Structure 1
Amino acid sequence: MKDMFCFQCEQTAKGTGCEVSGVCGKTPVVAGDQDKLVGACIGLAKAVQKTAATEATDACIKKALFTTVTNVSFDDESIKAMVACVDKMKADLDPTAEDYDMAQLWDDNEDIRSLKTLILLGIKGVAAYAHHAEILGYKDADVDAFFYQALAAVGSDLGMDTLLPLVLKTGEINLKVMALLDKANTETYGTPVPTEVPLTIEKGPFIIITGHDLHDLKLLLEQTEGKGINIYTHGEMLPAHAYPELKKHAHLKGNFGTAWQNQQKEFADVPAPVLFTTNCIMPVKESYSDRIFTTDVVQYPGMIHVGKEKDFAPVIAKALELGGYPEDKAMTGINGGTKVLTGFGRGTVLGVADKVIDAVKAGAIKHFFLVGGCDGAKPGRNYYTDFVKQTPDDTVVLTLACGKYRFNDLDLGTIGGLPRLMDMGQCNDAYSAIMVAVALAEAFDCGVNELPLSMVLSWYEQKAVCILLTLLHLGIKNILLGPSLPAFVSPNVLNVLVENYNIGPISTPEADMAKCLGQA
C-alpha cells in the first residue's frame, strides 16, 4: 500500500509520482486529506446534478479545488474542516450521495487516468481563476456549471471518446474564466500601464505580499496608508504595480526578491513580515516562521491566518516591531538587474498594434516569442534564460507568470519604440497574450498557427495545465513545453497531442531557436 500518490506538479518524484512524501513538502496525511476533499467534491457534484446548485455550493467547489492546488495549503486541520463542510452540503442535497474514492482514479487504466487527470487538474486551475474573479463580484453560470459536469465525469465510468472532448472543454471554460478575471481586474483596478519597478528595498518598516490576489493587496494598502510602512510585492504580485488604482498608493514601492521557489533562502533574514495571499507557499523554515502570515485559501500549520474579516493588524504590528532595514538595501534579479518592467497587457500592446503590424510588414520585427509559465526549483530551467538571451535583435519576447523571473531583469533593448521584452502579467494574464495573438492573426488575415510566433512554455502546477488546455482548445500547435513533460500524460494520450497539435518537449536553446526561426 502506497503512503500516498501524487503526480500533479512538474517536480514529482522520479518524474512518475510522489509515493512516500511530496517533493512540494506535503505529508502523506495532507495528501490523503486533499484526495478526500476532491472525492467529497465529486460526491457533491453528483448530488447537485440530481438536485440543484446554490451560490454556496458554487463557492465551496471553487475554494475546495483551489485548496488542493500545489503549494497552497499544508494545514491538515483546515482541509479536514473543509471536507466536513462539503460533506454536509452534499448530505443536505442528497442523503444517499457518496464521496468518490480517489484510489479508483489512481489505479485506473493509464489512458483513462490520464484524461481524467487532465480534466481534474485543469479544473483546479480554472477554480483558482474563478475564485479570484468571484472575490471581486464576477461570476459566470457556465463556468460554475462546468465544475459539476467535470467532477462528475472524473468520478464516473467513461471511455476515452467521452473524456477527450471534456479535456478540450476544460480549456474552453478556462478561456471564459480568464476573460472574466481580466474584466474583473481591469474594471476594478484599471487597465495596466507599462511600469518600471525597482528592486531596491528602502529603509524603514515594510511588508512583503506574495501570491496572486490583488484584492488582498488593495486592502493591505488601504490599511497601511499613513502608517509609515512600505509595501513590496513578491512573485506573481509583481504585475500589481501596473494597475492605476494600485499605483496611486505611494507606499507601494517595489518588488522583493525573485521567483517563489527561492523564498526559503530569500525570506531567511528579512526584517519584515510576509503575507501569503495564495500559492505558492513552501514549507516554512524556523528562521522566518515568526514572520509568516496567511489568508484566504493558503494555510500552513502554526502560522497566523487572517480570516474573512481581512484585518491585517497583526501583519502591520509585526512590520512596525521589526522595523525594516536601517538603510536602503540594493537587491538584484538573478541576472544582476536592479529593476524590472511590467504592465504590457493587451491594452498596451493592442494600443500600438498599428506600429507593431507596420514593423512586421517592414521587416523590422521578424518573430514573436511567448516565453513564460511557472518557475520551479528542478534543474533544467536555466534553459529559459539562455533561450531568451539568444533571441535575435529583430524579435519580440512576450512573457508572463513567474517563469519570467529567469530573465525579466535582462535589458534586451527596444524595437519600434517598445522594449523587446514585455511582461504581460500573472499566469491568468495568458488571456492578454491570447488576445494579442488573435488580433495579429486577424490583422494579417491568417490563423494563429501561421503567425511568426513561437510558444516556449514552462509549467509547474495546475494553473499552467488549464492554460495549456486553453491553447489546445484554440487549436494552437507547435508548443514547446518543459522542463519535462507531465507525468500524468500517458504515452497514448501524448501521441494524440503530438499527432493533433505537434506539442513537444524543449531540447536545447540553440536547437529550439533554430526550429522556431525555421533554420533547423
Structure 2
Amino acid sequence: MFCFQCQETSKGTGCTVVGVCGKKDDLANMQDLLIYTIKGLAIVNTMAREIGINQKKTDQFIINGLFMTITNANWDKNEFFNTVREGLKLREEIKAAIRNAGYTLDNNSDFVTWYRETNYELEMKSASQEVSILATRDEDIRSLRELVTYGLKGMAAYLEHAANLSYENEELNAFMQKALAKITDDSVSMEQLIELSMECGKYGVHAMELLDTANTSTYGHPEMTKVNIGVRQNPGILVSGHDLKDMEELLKQTEGTGVDVYTHSEMLPAHYYPAFKKYDHFVGNYGNAWWEQTREFESFNGPILMTTNCIVPPRESYKGRMYTTGATAVQDVTYIPKNEDGTKDFSVIIEHAKKCQPPVEIEKGEIVGGFAHNQVAQVADQVVEAVKKGDIKRFFVMAGCDGRHKSRTYYKEFAEELPKDTIILTAGCAKYRYNKLDLGDINGIPRVLDAGQCNDSYSLVMTALKLKDAFGLESVNELPLSYNIAWYEQKAVIVFLALLYLGVKNIHVGPTLPAFLSPNVTNFLIENFGVGGISNTKEDIEMFMNSGIEIQESALV
C-alpha cells in the first residue's frame, strides 16, 4: 500500500505497511482501485455527457464512490468489492450506449478497458502497480494529480450532503468528471494541472455555496445558541458525522419514544438550526472531536449512529452499539440503507436505545455557537464599532480538523495566548481544542465565533467578504485577518483550494504541511500565495500580530 492523503500519514511521508488511521493494506489498495475505476468511468461519462446521454445515476455513483474513500469513512472491504464491480458494470453500459449512439470512444487506456469480476481478481488488480498512486513517477505531476483528487473527494462530500436535501448541480458534476478524466492524461503538463487545481477551487466555492443553500433553505439560518454539554437520565442515541438529513429523520422518529438524542463532534452545529430546536428530546452535545470517540462511545452507553466519515475502528466493547449509513460502513456493524422513497428507517436503533442505560455524564455546562454568515451579518455593526474603538485588533480564522498528534496542543495554546483584543473565527472539529475555554468576549461579542461544521467553511468566506464590504476595502487581504488552519482530511483540501481561488494570501497550515505536496509544488504555493506552516505559539502570534495589515482610519468613517 501507499497512502499519504491525511495529515497523520506515517513519518510525514506516507503509510506503506498499515495506515496510521488503522486501515490495512488490502483495504487501502481496494480504495485505490475504486478511485482507478471512477477515473475510467469519468472518462467515458464525460463523452456521454457531451453527446447528451448522461444518466443521473452515474453522477450519484461517482460522488458516493469518492466520498467512500475519504479518510475514516468506510472500513468494509466487501463494500469496495461490490462498489468496484458496480462501477465497472456502469462503465461498460455507458460504453455500449456511446457505440449505440453511433460514436467511437477514442480512449483505450487501461482505465477504460480493464475488467475483473471475482473478489480474488479484484484484489490482485488492486495490488498492481498501475493502480497505485506511485504509478505516476514524476513527483510534481503526482503531487498535483493527488491535490486535485483530494479536492474532488472533499467536493463530493459537500455534494452528497446537498443531494440528500434534493439540491444538485449539473455543472459541478460535469466539472468533477472532466477533472478526473484530465488527471489520467499523461500529456497534461504541470502548468495545466496547476490551472486545474485552481479551477477545482472555483468549483469548490460553488459546491460549498450549494450546500449552504441546501442547509439554510431546509432548516433555517444558524443562530447564536447555547448548547448543553451535560446529560439527562433517559436512554440516548449519539449521532456523529455530518449529515443533517439523517439528524432530521432520527429526531422525527424518536419523538415521543422516551429516547433522547445527542450530537457528537461535527454534529454539534445541528443545535444551531432553528428547525431542530422544536425537539425537546434533542438534549445537547456529548464529547469532543472525532478521535476521542473510543473513550466517549464507551461511556455513552447507548447506540451510536455514524452518518459520515470520522469513524475510528470501533472497540469490541461498543461495536455492537454502532450503526452506519450513507457512504460509511464498518465490517460486522449494522448498516441503515435508504428506502426506495429516499427515507431511512431508524427503528432498530431506537429499539436498541430503549434497552440501554442513560449516558454517563463526562462534563457539565454550555458552549456557544451558531455564528454562521447570516448571524455575523446581524452583528456586523457591533463588530465594526469595536474595531473603530480599537477594542478588536485582529481576527483569526482557526478552522479545520482536529487530530490525535500531540503537536495539536499548539492550537489550544495559541487560542489561550492570543491577545484579548482578538476574535477567533472557526468551523470544523478543530474548535474542540478551544471552544470550551473561558476566553471571554469583547463588548458582548464572544471571542470564539463558531460557524459550524467543516462543511460550513463557506460561512467563514462569506464573513470575510462581509467584513471587507463593511470596511469599504477592495480585497479580503486588506483586512486584519490571519489564517492559521489545522487540517486532517480531504474536505480541508477543497476548502484550501477554494481560498486560493478567491485570492486569499498568507494561509498558514498545520500542524504539518501535506505530505502529498512535492517540494516544487510547495514552493509554488509559497511564492504565489504566501502559504506557510506553523512553528511555535509565541513566534507565530508575534508574526501574525506584526503583519502590518490594519484597517485605515479613513475606512472607518
TM range, smaller chain = over 0.9
Query: 129-138 or 439-448: which moved more?
Result: 439-448
Question: Which residue of structure 2 aligns with residue 69 of structure 1?
Answer: 70
Instruction: State the one-letter code of the partner of 1:423.
Output: D
Deviations 1:55-91, CA, capped at 9 Å, x for gaps: 1111111000000000000101111111111111110
Instruction: State the one-letter code of the partner of 1:166.
Output: L
Assess, with a 3 A threshold, how the Cα gap between structure 1 residues 235 and 104 changes in structure 2: closer, same or farther.
closer
Question: Which residue of structure 1 aligns with residue 179 of structure 2?
Answer: 150
Question: Which residue of structure 2 aligns with residue 412 of structure 1?
Answer: 439
In the superposition, the TM-score normalised over structure 1's length comes to 0.96
Query: 461-470 or 433-442: which moved more?
Result: 433-442
Deviations 1:114-158, CA, capped at 9 Å, x for gaps: 011100000000000001001101011211111111100121111
Please, which of 374, 378, 400 is the counterpart of residue 347 of structure 1? 374
Return the alpha-carbon distance in structure 2 between the equivalents of residues 67 and 148 of structure 1.
Answer: 17
Question: Which residue of structure 1 aligns with residue 362 of structure 2?
Answer: 331
- CA deviation after TM superposition for structure 1 residue 281, in Å: 0.4
Deviations 1:338-373, CA, capped at 9 Å, x for gaps: 321111100110111122112212212111011121
Deviations 1:196-252, CA, capped at 9 Å, x for gaps: 111111112100000000000000000100000100000100000010111111111
Return the alpha-carbon distance in structure 2 between the equivalents of residues 297 and 481 of structure 1.
Answer: 28
Deviations 1:451-502, CA, capped at 9 Å, x for gaps: 0001110000000011001111111111111001100000000000000111
- CA deviation after TM superposition for structure 1 residue 106, in Å: 4.2
Indicate conservation of the 8 Å contact 2:74/2:329, yes or no: yes
2:418 is aligned with 1:391: yes
Question: Which residue of structure 1 aligns with residue 530 of structure 2?
Answer: 502
Please, which of 353, 359, 365 is the counterpart of residue 392 of structure 2? 365
2:304 is aligned with 1:274: yes
Instruction: State the one-letter code of the partner of 1:484.
Output: T
Instruction: State the one-letter code of the partner of 2:451.
Output: M
Return the alpha-carbon distance in structure 2 between the equivalents of residues 226 and 385 of structure 1.
Answer: 40
- CA deviation after TM superposition for structure 1 residue 331, in Å: 2.5
Instruction: State the one-letter code of the partner of 2:30.
Output: D
Rg comparison, structure with higher value: 2
2:470 is aligned with 1:438: no
- SS, match of residue 137 in structure 2: coil
Return the alpha-carbon distance in structure 1 between the equivalents of residues 73 and 547 of structure 2.
Answer: 42
Question: Which residue of structure 2 aligns with residue 483 of structure 1?
Answer: 511
Return the alpha-carbon distance in structure 2 between the equivalents of residues 106 and 515 of structure 1.
Answer: 40
Deviations 1:84-106, CA, capped at 9 Å, x for gaps: 11111110111576437433654
Return the alpha-carbon distance in structure 1 between the equivalents of residues 70 and 439 of structure 2.
Answer: 34
Instruction: State the one-letter code of the partner of 2:291.
Output: Q
Aligned pairs for 1:190-209 within 5 A: 190-209=220-239
Return the alpha-carbon distance in structure 2 between the equivalents of residues 10 and 102 of structure 1.
Answer: 22
Question: Which residue of structure 2 aligns with residue 58 of structure 1?
Answer: 59
Please, which of 299, 304, 322 is the counterpart of residue 356 of structure 2? 322
Return the alpha-carbon distance in structure 2 between the equivalents of residues 50 and 451 of structure 1.
Answer: 44
- CA deviation after TM superposition for structure 1 residue 416, in Å: 2.7
- SS, match of residue 317 in structure 1: helix
Assess, with a 3 A threshold, how the Cα gap between structure 1 residues 30 and 94 changes in structure 2: closer, same or farther.
same
- CA deviation after TM superposition for structure 1 residue 25, in Å: 1.0
Return the alpha-carbon distance in structure 2 between the equivalents of residues 161 and 519 of structure 1.
Answer: 31
Question: Which residue of structure 2 aligns with residue 226 of structure 1?
Answer: 256
Indicate conservation of the 8 Å contact 1:331/1:338, yes or no: no
Please, which of 208, 213, 236 is the counterpart of residue 178 of structure 1? 208
- CA deviation after TM superposition for structure 1 residue 290, in Å: 1.1
Question: Which residue of structure 2 aligns with residue 312 of structure 1?
Answer: 346
Question: Which residue of structure 2 aligns with residue 456 of structure 1?
Answer: 484
- SS, match of residue 385 in structure 1: helix
- CA deviation after TM superposition for structure 1 residue 392, in Å: 1.5
2:318 is aligned with 1:291: no
Please, which of 176, 191, 215 is the counterpart of residue 161 of structure 1? 191
Query: 66-75 or 49-58: which moved more?
Result: 49-58
Question: Which residue of structure 1 aligns with residue 126 of structure 2?
Answer: none
Return the alpha-carbon distance in structure 1 between the equivalents of residues 29 and 329 of structure 2.
Answer: 17
Instruction: State the one-letter code of the partner of 1:93.
Output: I
Indicate conservation of the 8 Å contact 1:5/1:106, yes or no: no
Instruction: State the one-letter code of the partner of 1:265.
Output: R
Indicate conservation of the 8 Å contact 2:262/2:286, yes or no: yes
Please, which of 43, 47, 52 is the counterpart of residue 40 of structure 2? 43
Return the alpha-carbon distance in structure 1 between the equivalents of residues 269 and 46 of structure 2.
Answer: 39
Please, which of 511, 515, 520 is the counterpart of residue 543 of structure 2? 515
Return the alpha-carbon distance in structure 2 between the equivalents of residues 347 and 44 of structure 1.
Answer: 39
Count residues in correspondence. 510
Return the alpha-carbon distance in structure 2 between the equivalents of residues 416 and 127 of structure 1.
Answer: 40
2:130 is aligned with 1:99: no
Instruction: State the one-letter code of the partner of 2:164.
Output: I
Return the alpha-carbon distance in structure 2 between the equivalents of residues 419 and 120 of structure 1.
Answer: 37
- SS, match of residue 264 in structure 1: helix
Unaligned runs of 5+ residues in structure 2 are 97-104, 113-129, 549-557
Instruction: State the one-letter code of the partner of 1:455.
Output: Y
- CA deviation after TM superposition for structure 1 residue 386, in Å: 0.4
Instruction: State the one-letter code of the partner of 1:67.
Output: M
CA-atom RMSD in angstroms: 1.4
Indicate conservation of the 8 Å contact 1:269/1:287, yes or no: no
Question: Which residue of structure 2 aligns with residue 139 of structure 1?
Answer: 168
Question: Which residue of structure 1 aligns with residue 403 of structure 2?
Answer: 376
Please, which of 232, 244, 247 is the counterpart of residue 274 of structure 2? 244
2:34 is aligned with 1:32: no
Return the alpha-carbon distance in structure 2 between the equivalents of residues 39 and 71 of structure 1.
Answer: 19
Assess, with a 3 A threshold, how the Cα gap between structure 1 residues 207 and 518 changes in structure 2: closer, same or farther.
same
Return the alpha-carbon distance in structure 2 between the equivalents of residues 130 and 105 of structure 1.
Answer: 28
- SS, match of residue 381 in structure 1: helix
Question: Which residue of structure 2 aligns with residue 11 of structure 1?
Answer: 8
Indicate conservation of the 8 Å contact 2:2/2:134, yes or no: no
Query: 153-162 or 455-464: which moved more?
Result: 153-162
Unaligned runs of 5+ residues in structure 1 are none
Return the alpha-carbon distance in structure 2 between the equivalents of residues 354 and 112 of structure 1.
Answer: 47
Indicate conservation of the 8 Å contact 2:399/2:485, yes or no: yes
Deviations 1:390-444, CA, capped at 9 Å, x for gaps: 1212111111100000111112112132111111100011111101101111222
Indicate conservation of the 8 Å contact 1:193/1:343, yes or no: yes
- SS, match of residue 216 in structure 1: helix
Indicate conservation of the 8 Å contact 1:6/1:18, yes or no: yes
Instruction: State the one-letter code of the partner of 1:217.
Output: M
Return the alpha-carbon distance in structure 2 between the equivalents of residues 99 and 107 of structure 1.
Answer: 14
- CA deviation after TM superposition for structure 1 residue 268, in Å: 2.0
Instruction: State the one-letter code of the partner of 1:381.
Output: R
Return the alpha-carbon distance in structure 1 between the equivalents of residues 230 and 163 of structure 2.
Answer: 34
Instruction: State the one-letter code of the partner of 2:509.
Output: L
Indicate conservation of the 8 Å contact 1:269/1:288, yes or no: no
Indicate conservation of the 8 Å contact 2:230/2:361, yes or no: yes
Return the alpha-carbon distance in structure 1 between the equivalents of residues 263 and 504 of structure 2.
Answer: 33
In the superposition, the TM-score normalised over structure 2's length comes to 0.90
